Amino acid sequence: MSRLGKLPIKIPNGIQVSINKNMLTVKGTKGELKQEIHPNVIVNINNDEIIVSVKNTEDKKQRALWGLFRALINNMIMGLSEGYEKKLEIKGVGYKVAVSGSNLNLSLGFSHPVVFPLPLGISATVENNSIILKGFDKQLIGEIASQIRKFRKPEPYKGKGIKYSDETIRRKAGKAASK
């Protein structure tokens, strides 16, 4: 038995959940998300809760799918009801960031500014050289944050670059520390 998979998912007010063949659709005030359901996973929608199960609880792969799809459905519902937020910090002399419309303008020490277009459903705000990404799709926010971080990964000697706010960078000693 999957410990998390067997827990029911509560459907908050304002969220509509429907299933058509193998496609689960969740609609809310913020938008709409769709997820294809694996054939071995069974999704039952009761009045105000969703129960996820699998066809064979003895199969290890199906038990893994059980927990996975329960987490995916829960993330969809939480995103449409509350939303998700990811914060990135920029450290470095001369590193700047600004938002103009649906583009993110980054000055990261290159010979040219980096212009990053934000996809639909993602909004960004800038406060004190930190970027706050907001949206309802957890997977998309994580992917966009990862792509922004790839422009200048944090380096271990001075700590310059783009890092997640909850990330810790292990600092290394330079050449002078060896003497």
pLDDT 10s digits, 57-67: 888 888 889 98
Closest by alpha carbon to 122, among 62, 164, 79?
A: 79
- pLDDT exceeds 90 at position 85: yes
Sign of the torsion formed by the C-alpha atoms of 68, 69, 71 and 76 = positive
Q: 9-81 and 84-164: same fold?
A: yes
Residue 130 is predicted with a pLDDT of 93
Q: Is the pLDDT of residue 13 over 70?
A: yes
* pLDDT category of residue 2 using cuts at 50, 70 and 90: low
Say what the pLDDT of residue 178 is. Answer: 54
Give this prediction's pTM.
Answer: 0.86
- Element of type H or E holding 139: helix 138-150
Q: What is the pLDDT of residue 90?
A: 94
Determine contact, residues 92/132, Cβ cutoff 8 Å: no
Q: Between these two residues, 5 and 130, which has the higher pLDDT value?
A: 130
Determine the pLDDT at residue 32.
Answer: 92
CB 121 within 8 A of CB 33: no
Q: Is the pLDDT assigned to residue 50 strictly greater than 90? A: yes
The CATH code of domain 9-81 reads 3.90.930.12
Q: Token pair of 145, please?
A: 């944050």
Which pLDDT score is estimated for 69? 93
pLDDT-above-90 percentage for the chain: 66
Q: Are strands 96-100 and 49-54 parallel, antiparallel or unpaired?
A: unpaired
Task: Report the mean per-residue pLDDT for the chain.
Answer: 90
CATH code of the domain occupying 84-164: 3.90.930.12
Residue 1 has pLDDT above 80, yes or no: no
What is the band of 177 on the pLDDT scale with cuts at 50, 70, 90?
low
Report domain extents, the chain: 9-81, 84-164
Is the CB of residue 104 less than 8 Å from the CB of residue 131? yes
User: Does the pLDDT at position 42 exceed 80?
Assistant: yes
pLDDT tens-digit profile of 26-35? 999 889 999 9
